[in-house]
Amino acid sequence: MEVSGRIKMIDETKAFGANGFRKRELVVTTDEQYPQHIMIEFTQDKCDLLNNYGVGEPVKVSINLRGREWVNPQGETKYFNSIQGWRIEKAGDAPQQGYQQQAPQGYQQQPQGGGYQQQPQAPQARDAFEPATNYKEEEHDDLPF
């Protein structure tokens, strides 16, 4: 799976436990109508993949979804999900397929995620007819609306 968007935050590498488990978090903001802030974990040697990236850069991150089960001391079962990154690459400013909303017909998406701007359109066939001049309000029509 992949997540595309702009880097919002890159955390420092953190080490845990006696074995030196390493983890680094990245937040990517997607370029959608309703942007999502997706936190992605990079672990062990994958932490170093983030060294060449900075806040604001457009990226495409390859991810795996992970889930686990945990039983707390009271005997209740809990479930946890995580998103683990295993590859990251620079993406152009062009929309990434699968995570971009298409501009509505007659509109063009602005660069840098700036919304939509209506584009002039050529007249369509329905606009080529002259309006009716012999219309009488009191005449019955059988249209259902």
pLDDT band at residue 94 using 50, 70 and 90 as cut-offs: very low
| Closest to 6 in 3D by CA, of 25, 22, 27, 21 | 27
pLDDT band at residue 129 using 50, 70 and 90 as cut-offs: low
Indicate if the pLDDT at residue 102 is higher than 50: no
Instruction: Give tens-digit pLDDT for 54-63.
Output: 999 999 999 9
Range of the domain at 20: 2-92
Burial class (CB within 10 angstroms; exposed 0-12, middle 13-18, buried 19+) of 40: buried
- Confidence at residue 92, expressed as pLDDT on a 0 to 100 scale: 76
Could you tell me if residue 135 is inside a domain? no
Instruction: Give tens-digit pLDDT for 3-37.
Output: 999 999 999 999 999 999 999 999 999 999 999 99
| Closest to 10 in 3D by CA, of 24, 21, 26, 23 | 26
Give the chain's domain count.
Answer: 1
- Confidence at residue 96, expressed as pLDDT on a 0 to 100 scale: 40
CATH of the domain at 38: 2.40.50.140
**Taking residues 92-96, what's their average pLDDT?**
51
Could you tell me if residue 67 is inside a domain? yes
Could you tell me if residue 51 is inside a domain? yes
